[in-house]
Amino acid sequence: MRSDPNYGEAVALNVEFFKAARFPVSYFGWLIFRAPRIRRNRAQILELGDLPFPRWQKAILETLSGFESRIPQMLQPIRQELIRGLEGLMKIKKEPIVVLSFGCGGMELERQVIYELVRRRFNFPIIFVGVDYSAAVPDVLATKFASLVSKGIVQLKTISHLGVDDLRRLKNEAASHRFSVVLLNTNAFDLKDLPENSFNLIYHTRLRHHLTAEESNQLDELATHLTTKVIELDDLFSIPAFVLASIFAWRFPAVLSGAIFSYLRDFSKKELLAQEANGWTLATFSNPVWCHLRVYDKAVTKG
Ligand SMILES: C[S@@+](CC[C@H](N)C(=O)[O-])C[C@H]1O[C@@H](n2cnc3c(N)ncnc32)[C@H](O)[C@@H]1O
């Protein structure tokens, strides 16, 4: 792949990282002297999970959702906001609630939200549609939701296309279930032809840093076209994050590279504030990971 124009530069960068990470001294040398230069040109970064290797994608998605499961604070800001949004929707909706997650990965957020809603005796049909183009995701989800599916709490299915008729069919099928999890195994931007406000709520976690600046703007446009409320969680660029990842992921090189390259691509708080747009609000968190929550509310834009 070194000679592939789409991946060559990123492959060389990953190989360079793994060579440096063989020894602590060369790794810290790389982190101190090389990483700042890479950040200045961060568009060239692709993580191992962005390269077309489903086996690595699976390992990385499972490890990320494993961390999100063992450290629930990693998703806490968006989990709370999402549950609040779902409870609000339940009060006003007559038909199943349909929410959409871009770049859903292992859907650990949805698993945690479903457990919490069961605990709160939430009794209204919800369809969680997760969009992700990775070939590794169907397997990851089958394992993740096996127990909830076998208990009859969740209905899980994978589709490769979602049009207006498919959405109507999903709602009809979901009416008799409490929780449906639907993986739409395709590119998020394939949804651009759906009508305005097709979903009750849209959210995404740890996705934005995977996108180019142009895709990032397109994603905001797409999300605000498809719904009235968007919630985004991603990590924030911060030096302590590099130190913590280096300590805790040192024994897992694939995870270490994913964490370090993600942090190098993340926005800083200053950059996020500079991008503030009408209707969006920003909150930042630092316990125990440095992350931000961006929320868009069409009602605020119109108001
Ligand atoms: C770092 S993972 C985050 C997974 C999950 N949201 C989480 O927080 O655990 C990013 C995911 O976004 C997916 N992704 C990136 N760009 C995408 C796109 N344009 N369309 C669909 N999925 C995309 C990748 O395949 C990957 O699974």
Instruction: Kindly give the distance from the C-alpha atom of residue 26 to the centroid of ligand 1, in angstroms, as a whole number.
Output: 31
Q: Are 100 and 204 found together in one domain?
A: yes
Q: What pLDDT score does 228 carry?
A: 96
Could you state, in chain order, the average pLDDT of each consecutive group of 10 residues for the chain (303 residues)? Answer: 91 95 97 96 90 92 92 94 96 94 98 97 95 97 97 96 97 91 98 97 96 93 97 95 92 90 94 85 87 90 55
Q: Residue 30 sits in which domain range?
A: 8-54
d(CA 96, CA 180): 10
pLDDT of amino acid 302: 54
CATH code for the domain of 167: 3.40.50.150
Is residue 122 in a domain?
yes
pLDDT value of residue 131: 98
DSSP secondary structure letter of residue 189 = G
Q: What pLDDT does residue 175 have? A: 84
Give the pLDDT confidence of 42-53 residue by residue, as tens digits.
988 999 999 999
What's this model's pTM, rounded to 2 decimal places? 0.94
Co-location of 210 and 74 in the same domain: yes
Count CB atoms within 10 A of the CB of residue 191. Answer: 23
Residues 30 and 167 in one domain: no
- Render pLDDT for 207-224 as a digit per residue (tens, 0 to 9): 999 999 899 999 999 999
Q: Which two tokens stand for residue 247?
A: 């300590």
Where b means 16+ CB within 10 Å and e means fewer, 37-60 reads ebeeeeeebbbbbbbeeeebbbbb
pLDDT for res 301: 62
> For the chain, how many structural domains are there in total?
2
Q: CB of 107 within 8 A of CB of 131? A: no
Atom of ligand 1 nearest to the CA of 258: 1
**Ligand 1 pocket: which residues have CB below 6 Å?**
61, 64-65, 68, 103-106, 108, 131-134, 187-189, 205-207, 210
Q: Which of 179, 212, 228 is the last residue of a domain?
A: 228
Task: Please check whether residue 286 lies inside any domain of the structure.
Answer: no
